[in-house]
Structure 1
């Protein structure tokens, strides 16, 4: 852990963080962690974290997803997804990252193809389990056109009807984001 001569408060914070990390490891809340021991190591860790372009190139062709689900279900969900992917495509790769603490997962899947039929099959593997977990097909990047067919996976018909009602009330001329989330019922 890097302490840039900030005095006893920084040292105390570093000690508390180390103790919390050790406790989390002992309680198996986490399975691995790394703490930079120098500014060079810190910069290297941040470079890895920031190299999304390298991740995408390494997985190409890659299918990406942005889902949310209860934190307690994340490990079971990702393990089951990985097993399904591997059973269907032996050489598949799954990378999961994101805002794990707030229930948001960014999922990158590589199965060797991004053809529409393959994409639909992977989407089913990613999205269908979310219904029973109380998850959502979109955590922060919206529904848009791609996720529109999957909206009913995470929203009831009453919720979707309410969305239509709100859309009509706020945009009676249907000028804004026409057809992006809700199909027009004109």
Structure 2
């Protein structure tokens, strides 16, 4: 059957758009989780929505599985293909189609790297708030398929909050297009939300209409030391009251700060090590004349109240970037056998969760290293573990410990990056059986042959 499918695809799309064997690059083996083992049987490179539709129509007729691939920056195995799958790359669906100044919208093709979309908005005097570390290679279609978050969620919301319209292709090749530019549109079901966060299991996103914001006129960044997690929450609440909300609020536990700030890869230590907590706070405002004084007054009031033990304000962009290098924590990548987690908890329970989770991990692996840090203000906590596993142990064992703790605290096993294959066994820790049943009903309705990204999410 596979040869018949490939022949039909080549006849429709052209030989250059259907790659097989050694013509498929090794990068299509796995996303950044590095858990993919097989190259797909074929790789499709459609050039427009019509070719995506034609490819899916043919694959659906043959019952052939299709795995959509974007920038391959995910961490949950969601873009990994099996040996018998056909991968569909969106690399060639790349470009800015329209920037509407009056509507403050940006229409882009789904294969466009996020950074290119951000730069197009910036050049026109607007802000595309969606932002994450892999902006240079992550594609906007993948960002929406996983409902990406990033550093600015606390101010602007997740990816789904920044989308007004989109175009998607269903499993049978039906093109579902609604490139809406209106903030208010209650004409029936909001179908775009079916595809945002569904990881390509319900349809393949091909176009996006982003809602843009005005560019900020000022940015102030500070690194703070605090005495407890309660003090972290008090600082967050004061920032929301005094500043109207920060644009970023990043908390770090002391072992994370000591390791990262003391590492040669980071080359930055804004404050001395040894404090119980650290916070990087960023505020973006609309008045370059008065915003710096407002930010400083906010910090001074927090110091007077005792919420802060110490603080330093970045004096220029270079210093602000050095603060961010600490929070980005790239030095953790030098540790052996690291496993990264991206989970969500109710903000007020994050401190207790971190204590409990650390205790469970240390009880199982007394010599392991465990680092906690994250966005906090948007309920997102990151955990990095480095463990010398005993014979017969591995990543699945540490997953069991961390996700059981997330379940016990009524949190989410996936704050970002989706479920993919790596978190599929734990979906029931954060979703009820009834919710999972409805997800399966939606899948059966939109993809009755189950060809789209099989084995992912549910």
TM-score normalised by length of structure 2:
0.34
278, 284, 294: which is aligned to 1:16? 294
My pick for the range that moved more, 10-19 or 74-83, is: 10-19
What are the superposed Cα offsets for residues 67-98 of structure 1, whole Å, 9 maximum, x if unpaired?
Answer: 11111111111111122222322232222233
Determine the C-alpha separation between the residues in 2 that align with 1:65 and 1:115: 23
163, 178, 184: which is aligned to 2:454? 178
- Equivalent runs, 1:90-105 vs 2, <5 Å: 90-105=366-381
**Contact preservation (8 Å) 1:94, 1:109:** yes
CA, structure 1 residues 165+39, in 2 after alignment: closer, same or farther (shift >3 Å)?
closer
The yes-or-no answer on 1:56 pairing with 2:339 is no
Superposition deviation, residue 132 in structure 1: 3.5
TM-score normalised by length of structure 1:
0.78
Residue 377 of structure 2: SS of its match in structure 1? helix
**Contact preservation (8 Å) 1:86, 1:92:** yes
CA, structure 1 residues 33+116, in 2 after alignment: closer, same or farther (shift >3 Å)?
farther
> For residue 78 of structure 1, what is the aligned residue in structure 2?
354
> For residue 124 of structure 1, what is the aligned residue in structure 2?
400
> For residue 5 of structure 1, what is the aligned residue in structure 2?
none
Gaps of 5+ in 2: 1-219, 222-286
Determine the C-alpha separation between the residues in 2 that align with 1:180 and 1:170: 15
Superposition deviation, residue 51 in structure 1: 5.1
Greater strand fraction, Structure 1 or Structure 2? 2
Q: CA RMSD in A?
A: 2.7
Gaps of 5+ in 1: 3-8
Greater helix fraction, Structure 1 or Structure 2? 1
**Contact preservation (8 Å) 2:339, 2:385:** yes
Determine which structure has greater relative contact order: mean sequence separation of CA pairs < 8 Å that are 6+ residues apart, divided by chain length.
1
Determine the C-alpha separation between the residues in 1 that align with 2:352 and 2:321: 32
20, 36, 45: which is aligned to 2:314? 36
Structure number with bigger Rg: 2
Determine the C-alpha separation between the residues in 2 that align with 1:33 and 1:84: 32
Superposition deviation, residue 50 in structure 1: 4.1
What are the superposed Cα offsets for residues 129-163 of structure 1, whole Å, 9 maximum, x if unpaired?
Answer: 22243311001111111111111111111011011
Between the two proteins, the alignment pairs up a number of residues equal to 173
> For residue 139 of structure 1, what is the aligned residue in structure 2?
415
